[in-house]
Structure 1
Amino acid sequence: MTRLGDVQRNETRRETRSTLLTALLWLVTAVIVVAMLLRMLPNNLDGKRYVPLVVALMPWLGLLSAVIAVFALTIRRIGKRRALAALSAVCVVIQVAWHWGYIVPAANPVAQSMATVRVMTFNTKQGVADAQQIVETIREEHIEVLAMQEVSSDLLNRLNDGGIADYLPYSVTPQLTWHDNGGVNVLYSAHPLQETTENLIPIESSSIPAATVALNGRNVRFGSVHPFSPRPRNQGLWNKSLDSIAQLRHYDNNESYVLMGDFNATWDHASFRYLLGDRFTDAGQSAGEGLHMTFPAVFPIAEIDHIIYDKGVRATDLATKRIQGSDHLALLATLTIA
């Protein structure tokens, strides 16, 4: 009787564990489905409450769906496991379709005459990043155009002392204003700058310094951007600042634009995709070189720093780099200008 009782108790425990595991996996899958539905919200609704924070984790949710599908196919004790596996597989397929450009590079016709330029964008965390390491990175990576965000006057002094002018002698630095987002945005270049401006467009966020560089007989206008983050207290400003940058879709087509910075948004945010429209391309989403998570620096889980560009430009050799003192990774790329 004792042995029979032990068997019954063990069976009861297994059934309980099976029931709990089934409930947990279905609950997680339900959360993933809801998050994917939030990702489909239009531009004017995707900034509500905690929606931007949830949507920013979308690639990880796709990976989680793949794990759940494997569990459902291999563990027989899971209830309704075929239905769970099928639903998780559908979630994975949708996620792959959404992020296809991270897997396969977008088609881009090759021109006979092209120029390349090495670029980098970096949020310096209110200017506390290591200035000497920034200069070393510029030298080692042969950076020709650098966009930085949250720059303080102290960091500018440290960069000058570190010899940044030996590599990037031209720059645009706006005046600090009340609406700057942790510091000013700056733009450095190894090439002479034309038509410089401290603020490219009217924006309710940090000013966008911009300048034109002549490359391969073509004028390319670079800008350093940093819209507000989508914290609950300023999500309205998040939408407004991204929508302001979206105005550039209608600007002069005779110049190619390259905007670099901490956009505080991922490819999965409708507001970011609206900003791109049918004119701009996100380097990360089109290069076919995988995800390049940039925030937070210690364990990056979101790709919120971007290099976006106009037609006739394409990006390769994307990479991230840790620079001490910042909570962001720097994002680097080689741009080809046709």
Structure 2
Amino acid sequence: MRYLRVLLTLAAVALLVLAATPWIDRISPTWLPVVQSLGRAWIVAAVIGLLLSVLARARLAVGANAVVIAVALVTILNVANRPACDAGEARLAVMSLNAEYGRADVAQLAEAVERRDIDTLVIAEVDEALIAALLATEPGSRFVHRSGQTSEGASPAGTVVLSRHPATRVEVPARQTGTFQQPAMSIDVAGRAVLLRAVHPQPPVARSIEQWRAGLVELGEWQRAQRGRPLVMAGDFNASAAHAPFRNAKRGMYDTAGLWPRATWPRERAYPPFADIDHVLVRGLNVEDAGTEDIDDTDHRAVWADLRVCTR
């Protein structure tokens, strides 16, 4: 029994080290961002360890596992205050989806657009064929404004913003870090101009981890330069609150996902999604409702938010 207690304690300490990795702000070793994103897994492991430790009367292990759960929750729970403003009647419903090389089920996407009455749609990893198929549907025909052209073939780089409200393209700083397309649009919502930026930085894998970090830093600098304007940043951030570069990028903005963000990636695997890397961030808008949608043939959940422009 003594050896079991020692093993349970060592396992709990190891879990605690893993759960604390989100406070390490670096990009080496290259596997670190993946470990940082596994907070939900550490919680499950710690709960199992806690139960075993109670049965084995391993007090140190019980305490360590409890700390693991608390530490992991800090990186998952979205405890930021909701935007406090006087919400007007001007409505903007935003949805974002990574279409995984343009393979997402168009019929299901159109159905989700209609069900949530979406005004602005951000699609990453999209090609012209998917956009044409979506615009040919009745729900998709509402999108009469778009940010521009994208890839003719399957590619992770294509990102397009579609809008039912009048919208004009806004120039953003030239890409210096090898990011994918991240267009910005100024959207006229009942006479109020709302700035929207589509987001899709490089993924945090070995070949592009430096570009991933630099891309998130650039997004943070850009959004803080837009203070005083209603702003939405929506897309596949390839990062969650477990990553320091994302926490910096969203500073001053509110994640509409709510207290417990639903994991959005990866879908359609033998195991459930474990990372909330798709976001709708806002400033200067009130959040009426928000959630996710499951669309077949893509490894991401769609995220959406029903917003009202603040009057002051």
Smaller-chain TM-score range?
0.7 to 0.9
1:20-72 CA distance string (max 9 Å, x none):
x5455334323322223321112xx1464100000011133134323322332
1:232 aligned counterpart, secondary structure: coil
2:118 is matched with 143
1:304 aligns with 2:277: yes
| Regions of 4+ moved over 6 Å | none
Does structure 1 conserve the Cα–Cα contact (< 8 Å) formed by 2:82 and 2:254?
no
Distance change in 2, residues 1:110/1:67 (3 Å): farther
Find the aligned partners of 2:28 and 2:233 in 1 and give their Cα distance.
22
Aligned partner of residue 84 in structure 2, secondary structure: coil
Correspondence for 1:87: 64
Q: Does 1:56 align with 2:37?
A: yes
* Equivalent position amino acid for 1:51 in 2: L
Q: Secondary structure of the equivalent of 1:188? A: strand
In the alignment, the residues of structure 1 paired with residue 7 and residue 287 of structure 2 have an alpha-carbon distance, to the nearest angstrom, of: 42
Match of 2:134 among 125, 149, 159: 159
1:252 and 2:226 correspond: yes
What are the ranges of 5 or more consecutive residues in structure 1 without an aligned counterpart?
1-14
From the superposition, tell whether residues 115 and 200 of structure 1 become closer, same or farther in structure 2 (CA, over 3 Å). Answer: same
Residue 283 of structure 1, CA deviation: 1.9
* 1:129 to 1:232, Cα distance in 2 relative to 1, 3 A: same
Q: Higher Cα Rg: structure 1 or 2?
A: 1
Which whole-Å CA distance do the structure 2 matches of 1:107 and 1:166 have between them?
A: 33
Q: 1-side partners of 2:130 and 2:47: how far apart?
A: 44
Asked if 2 retains the 8 angstrom alpha-carbon contact of 1:122 and 1:330, the reply is yes
Question: Structure 1 residues 112 and 268 mapped into 2: Cα distance closer, same or farther (>3 Å)?
Answer: closer
Partner of 2:104: 129
Deviation readout 1:240-268 (Å, 9 max, x if unpaired): 21112122133232322211111111111
Are the aligned partners of 1:134 and 1:323 in contact in 2 as well (CA < 8 Å)? yes
- Deviating more after overlay: 28-37 vs 236-245: 28-37
Partner in structure 2 of residue 171 of structure 1: 146
Taking only aligned residues, the RMSD between alpha carbons, in angstroms, comes to 2.5
Matches within 5 A, 1:135-284: 135-163=110-138, 165-176=140-151, 182-194=156-168, 196-197=169-170, 200-203=172-175, 204-215=178-189, 217-277=191-251, 279-284=252-257
Q: CA deviation at 1:118?
A: 1.7
The structure where helix makes up a greater share of residues is: 1
Q: Please list every run of 5 or more consecutive structure 2 residues that lacks an aligned counterpart in the other structure.
A: none
Q: Give the AA of the match of 2:309.
A: I
Which position in structure 2 is the counterpart of 1:9?
none
Letter in 1 for 2:165: H
Letter in 2 for 1:337: V
CA contact (8 A) 2:199 2:237 kept: yes
What is residue 265 of structure 2 aligned with on the other side? 295
CA 1:25 to 1:169, structure 2 compared with 1: closer, same or farther past 3 Å? farther
Q: Deviations over 1:167-205 (max 9, x none)?
A: 22211124449xx961310101111113x14x6333321
In the alignment, what sits opposite 1:5? none
